[in-house]
Amino acid sequence: MTSFANVVSGALKVTASTPDGREQIVGLLFPGDFVGQMFTDEASLTVTALTETAMCSFPRAAFERELGAQPRMERMLLERTMASLDEARERMLSLGRRNAQERVAGFILQVADRSGTPRSDGGIDVSIPMSRGEVADLLGLTIETVSRQLTRLKAAGLITFAKGERDCIVCDPEGLERIANPV
């Protein structure tokens, strides 16, 4: 760990590897997110760009010196770290307690929240930065199940695809929220 970075634009996936070489997507990074693991000499995770990405990179030693001199910056980093921990806990809950439709709806809402663009009609433009196979990996589902659930959400009028399978419009954010987080 010789440097850190901040995501300026784009999307990245964070993966962990097992000793036998298998990988698991354990998180996503969007603009404003911090890349790197503080207080460790070796990185235990791999970060890979999913889309064209711009990052602001800085040397570790200089960053750690500046962090010590800037309590506000240190607090902001701590707040983002805690938000990342909350996201990981939410993902664990999702994998353990949500059905496939709830997982897919929750994923779309997460991407919409982190990188979506509000529309004048109340919808949200969302560019899904991953293939359906990667979404399936992240959500602990099969690619066929992800495709079926996207089709069901589309048939219900909650989402539509503008072009291809990655440019999505969330037509009914509240309806999608009701599915992702049923009462």
pLDDT at 49: 96
pLDDT at 170: 97
pTM of the prediction?
0.84
Higher pLDDT, 42 or 147: 147
Higher pLDDT, 43 or 47: 47
pLDDT at 153: 97
Q: Are 58 and 5 in contact (CB under 8 A)?
A: yes
Q: What's the distance, Cα to Cα, between the start and end of the chain in Å?
A: 43
Q: Which residues, including other chains, have CB under 8 Å from residue 13's CB and lie 6 or more apart?
A: 25, 27, 28, 29, 47, 48, 50, 130, 134, 138
Q: Which stretch of 23-32, 37-46, 53-62 has the lowest confidence by average pLDDT?
A: 37-46
pLDDT at 40: 77
Higher pLDDT, 42 or 180: 180
pLDDT at 5: 92
Residue 163 has pLDDT above 80, yes or no: no
Rounded to an integer, the average pLDDT of 172-183 is 93
How far apart, in whole angstroms, are the C-alpha atoms of residue 158 and residue 20?
A: 40
Residue 51 has pLDDT above 90, yes or no: yes
- Rounded to the nearest integer, the mean pLDDT of the chain is 90
For the stretch 58-107, pLDDT in tens is: 898 888 888 888 889 888 888 888 888 888 888 787 777 899 999 999 99
Residue 14 has pLDDT above 80, yes or no: yes
Rounded to an integer, the average pLDDT of 12-36 is 90
Q: Are 72 and 90 in contact (CB under 8 A)?
A: no
Tokens at residue 84, please? Answer: 């990342």
pLDDT at 43: 79
pLDDT at 143: 96
